[in-house]
Structure 1
Amino acid sequence: MTVTAFNDADLTRLETLLTPLSASGSTMRPDEVQGFFAALSSGPDQVDADFWLPEVLGDAPAFENPEDEAELAALLQKLYDSIRAALAAGEELDLILYAEEDSGEEGEPDYWPWANAYLYALDLVDTDWFEVAEEDEGFESLMMPMLVLGGAFEDEDGGEDLLTFTDEEIDGYKEELSDALAAVYNYWRAKEQAPVTMRRDGDKVGRNDQCPCGSGKKYKACCGAN
């Protein structure tokens, strides 16, 4: 299936429909939507619009115009599909980032909403990424740009942060974000394709032992011949 790229005109229309809803409430902004979708598209859980649409809309009021509601849903689906296709093709995402608050339109891009929404997706899916990857020592390293930029090490109650990072380190994680997204996506694809070790419940049957199926033949001449 060919996926049409999510273009600048689509983004402009998405901003027109979505941003006013996110101004006061829990509706996601377009940058948060992209981060959220990037995580959902990367992990092992298969989700669809019934899963992610309510999370994107949050407490948005009902649409007065059904056509706007349908158009917004279609744009979100297009964005979701384009992210999945880009990750699968190994293409770098064109990140949707807005200027930091109080820095003006030409200010530094704010990575926190994007990365925080990425981490939010991990709280919603059935699979606990870190539990499944517990034995893979490198997994947390792959996740560090998202964890650091998304505020995972910050104390939400205003206390001392779990870890602190220099401005140079944070800038480094910003530069590594795109590569990290690809690495995490590839990690889960490799995990899906890894062979599963089958373990016997009973004792091993020798080739010259009587076949456990009850045929009376030797195992090598019966079930062991297949």
Structure 2
Amino acid sequence: MNEFFSWNMLHNRLWGTQPRLSDAETDELFELMADPSLNDDAMSIDMADGYLTAIAVGPSPVPVHDWLEDIFAQPTLPLPHDPVRQQRLLQLLLHRYADIQAALAVRPAEVSVDALYTPLSSEVPEGDCITPYKLDAKGERIGEWELKYWAEGFRLAVATDDDWEPLMAGPEGAHLLGPMVLYSMGYNPDRPDFQLEAEGAELFPSLIISVYAVRDWWKRYRGTHGTRPGHPAALSTVRDTPKVGRNDPCPCGSGNKFKKCCGA
């Protein structure tokens, strides 16, 4: 049995009934997610936060044990050598997910600044952010920038879940997900003179607005179709091939899960 599933059954509780993570608890979560004993393929806290945000606003619920496995890149509990740190890490991560859900449960105009959803993002070390930006031979930006890994986590959640297809295939997809794509790429390929850092103060609010807007889009979609996206009555396009689940073997034949291979 999946260890994350067993753990969640033993520690299930109403996380939304407690106060939001304090600054000290958030710092502790950053520290625990950076533990060198974690799987080398485990997500950073930035990426995990973007991933959880996409799950929270997305088309259909993802079981806790599934996203824990995705974040830690293993079906077994992290930090088995230290049960105390293990328990604390999982508790804080679930608490953060509950905070995301609570913040996104109301409209931005109806909440205080302190209660508004904001992404978690690590500070970029001095010298790692190359400006003006430079591209490598593949057209990818070199170096680091703020919210890079948060946006990558959000993108990964979308890319490995076919239930996002109605939004991705429609005319609103590019507009609603544009800020996430921009922060993931680090530059605008249609505007070579664009500098993410120079526009950051204006773009950050747009990113938060987009998160709420994506949430609202899926609410309207479910209200119109009356079912979850995966149901035949809700599909906006016809598939030529069977749907590949995020935990299914990748159809390319690599032997890896789809979410860790072509789905990434």
Residue 195 of structure 2 corresponds to which residue in structure 1? 167
Partner Cα distance (2:168, 2:31) in 1: 42
Letter in 2 for 1:173: L
Residue 21 of structure 1 corresponds to which residue in structure 2? 36
Gaps of 5+ in 2: 1-13, 109-115, 129-143, 227-232, 234-264
Residue 79 of structure 1 corresponds to which residue in structure 2? 96
1:79 Cα shift? Answer: 0.8
Residue 36 of structure 1 corresponds to which residue in structure 2? 51
Residue 150 of structure 1 corresponds to which residue in structure 2? 184
Letter in 2 for 1:3: T
Could you say which structure has the larger radius of gyration? Answer: 1
Secondary structure (helix, strand or coil) at the match of 1:45 reads: coil
Q: 1:23 to 1:126 in 2, by over 3 A?
A: same
Residue 137 of structure 1 corresponds to which residue in structure 2? 171
Residue 154 of structure 2 corresponds to which residue in structure 1? 118
Partner Cα distance (1:166, 1:24) in 2: 36
Residue 181 (structure 1) aligned with residue 198 (structure 2)? no
Q: Which runs of 4+ in 1 moved over 4 A?
A: 59-62, 161-165
Secondary structure (helix, strand or coil) at the match of 2:171 reads: coil
Is the contact between residue 41 and residue 83 of structure 1 (CA under 8 Å) also seen in structure 2? yes
Is the contact between residue 40 and residue 121 of structure 1 (CA under 8 Å) also seen in structure 2? yes
Letter in 1 for 2:106: A
The match for 2:119 among 88, 95, 99 is: 95
Post-superposition Cα deviations, 1:160-195, rounded to whole Å, max 9, x if no partner, equal x68756016853433311111111111111111115
TM-score (norm 2): 0.61
More divergent stretch after superposition (90-99 vs 26-35): 90-99
Residue 3 (structure 1) aligned with residue 17 (structure 2)? yes
TM-score (norm 1): 0.70
Where in structure 2 are the equivalents of 1:44-59 lying within 5 Å?
44-58=59-73
The match for 1:65 among 82, 86, 99 is: 82
Q: Give RMSD over aligned pairs.
A: 3.2
* Percent identical residues: 21
Is the contact between residue 122 and residue 146 of structure 2 (CA under 8 Å) also seen in structure 1? yes
Number of aligned residues: 186
More divergent stretch after superposition (174-183 vs 4-13): 4-13
Is the contact between residue 35 and residue 117 of structure 1 (CA under 8 Å) also seen in structure 2? yes
Residue 206 of structure 1 corresponds to which residue in structure 2? none
More divergent stretch after superposition (117-126 vs 141-150): 117-126
Gaps of 5+ in 1: 155-160, 200-226
Post-superposition Cα deviations, 1:175-216, rounded to whole Å, max 9, x if no partner, equal 3111111111111111111155xx9xxxxxxxxxxxxxxxxx
